[in-house]
Amino acid sequence: DNAEAWLGLAASYDKLGRFDFADRAYDQLVAVAGRRAHIVNNMGYSQLLRGNKKKARELLLEAKAGMTDTSVVDANLALMNKS
């Protein structure tokens, strides 16, 4: 299984608003690649797109804790705080 393919598929489903399929792709991605910070960041952004700020914040903060360069997560948190 290819982690990059699963990540791309999950992001594509997010863009289409097919969050049910996005969740399945993220589950497969975590099974293949582990719960890495950049993956958790994308999962948090997915929750943000759904309007689930509480879950988005939880995931984004988890991602931030595991990153050296937090600029992407910080941008997602700022976006969340604006909405």
> Which domains, from first to last, does the chain contain?
3-82 (1.25.40.10)
Q: What burial class does residue 37 get, using C-beta atoms within 10 Å of its C-beta: 0-12 exposed, 13-18 middle, 19+ buried?
A: middle
Task: Render pLDDT for 21-62 as a digit per residue (tens, 0 to 9).
Answer: 999 999 999 999 999 999 999 999 999 999 999 999 999 999
DSSP state of 34: -
pTM, entire model: 0.94
